[in-house]
A and B are shown apart, each in its own frame.
Chain A
Amino acid sequence: MAIADEITLRIVLYEGAGAATLDAAERGSTLTALLGKGYAVTCAGSGAVAPADDSALLVLGRFENGQTPEAEDANGAVPIRFRDIDGLDSEGITALVEEERKSTQTAQHGEWKPWFPVIDYDRCTNCMQCLSFCLFDVYGVDDEQEIQVQNNDNCKTNCPACSRVCPEAAIMFPKYKSGPINGDVVSDGDLNREKMKIDISALLGGDIYQMLRDRSQRSRSRFSKERSSDKALGERTKCLTKLAAEADIDIPLEVLQSLPSADEIAEKSAAANAKATAALAAQKSG
């Protein structure tokens, strides 16, 4: 099942009427443990919380006499469960929640590092550079030919390469180490720097994948004489490492090493370019 189709469990830490109050340290350790396991927790207290939705609800509390209330959603849309946590430490509470998660068949968190591009539509000009650059089908267009992230789990963890080709610095990776890729404000200096990187890449012979194709082609012709696949692999790694350093593009080596073969790259690149060209043509005719 795709992660977008999974239902998540909403936990409410209840300390209102009919339940005892936790002290701040207990509340903190419980929250830290549950957040660490990937859960979202509503901590009821003074003031408003977000309204309900269709998420499954698990209400935790130290209920009087261990008696959990009975309640149901008036519309019957939301399954609500209550569990008494009296006498449990944060570890025990987490174990209890895990049991509930399994029995409600709701999403398990933390199996995938959420690394994917986030488009700043205040800056995006819909130029399709990202679509034509990415070989992994992360990008696509909607019915109105506007760029969008369609397959975010295809994205290569820790690789921010597509953000480097965006002329407007409109592509963010919020977990990236530095700005503006991490979402920090874009300055004129940043824009110039990003543009300079694109120019450097152009001077080196087109886009990064073109460079890879060229290098790979050269390596292949050299090594076909030697017939040593190990040597070829070693040289490819060396070339890629050098290339990544030259272009200062911060693409992790493991991502470069996991790129498709040169022929596949050519094929994918052509397909991505065709998609971008078609989208741009549709924009103009529309």
Chain B
Amino acid sequence: MADKPRILFCHCNYAQVVPEEVKAGVLQSLCESGQAFEAVADLCEMAARRDPALKRLAAGEAPVKIAACYPRAVKWLFGGCQAPLSADRTEVVNMRELSAKDAARALLDEKVTPNLAADGLAAATEGEKKI
């Protein structure tokens, strides 16, 4: 049970960069799944306000799956707030690129495929820098 990933969903409220139908479709799938999950209005806004909740969302031993945008952006939104995501326990599901169906499937699959490694490099250090 400890290895079952936690799920975090970003609604990307303040821009139209994630297609509305993808966000709605993924959220619907999560609601139908009966799975526990965290939903936040906008990770960028949380990073802008250095919301301490980012540390809570990144914390814990369980792997995390994050439905948001590009992994590189998500990694450094957290890293910039001194809430580093574990490079070997985090998978970002990119709702800017995937269909709602594929994003939901990836999110609800218990297998975690970490994808926060630096470009072209193996997963190594956890990003932590300050804004």
Contacts and interface: CB of A to CB of B under 8 A. Distances in A.
Interface string A14-38: 0000000000110110011001111
B27 A148 contact: no
- Contact-residue size bin, chain A (C-beta under 8 Å from the other chain): 35 or more
Contact of B13 (A28, A35, A55, A115): A35
Nearest to B30: A43
Contacts of A285: none
Contacts of A218: none
Given A149-B131, A182-B69, A38 B36 contact: no
Interface string A137-178: 000001000101110110000000000000000001011110
A52 B38 CA distance: 12
A177 B17 contact: yes
A121 B76 contact: yes
A142 to B, nearest CB: 6
A174 B69 contact: yes
Nearest to A181: B73
Contact of A35 (B11, B47, B73): B11
Contacts of A120: 72, 75-76
Nearest to A116: B48
Contacts of B49: 3-4, 6, 8, 107
A24 B52 CA distance: 30
Contact of B60 (A44, A51, A115, A150): A51
Nearest to A31: B39
Interface string A51-65: 111110000000000
Contacts of B21: none
Interface stretch (A183-191, A222-230, A247-255, A263-271): A183-191
A133 interface: no
Given A114-B44, A114-B48, A45 B76 contact: no
Contacts of B50: 4
A217 interface: no
Between B48, B118, B130, the greatest number of chain A beta carbons within 10 A of the residue's beta carbon is seen for B48
Contacts of A186: 119
Contacts of A142: 130
Contact of B52 (A46, A55, A122): A55
B39 A119 contact: no
18 contacts: A8-B49, A10-B53, A27-B31, A40-B46, A45-B35, A50-B6, A50-B53, A50-B59, A51-B59, A114-B44, A115-B44, A118-B76, A123-B119, A172-B73, A174-B43, A174-B44, A179-B70, A183-B74
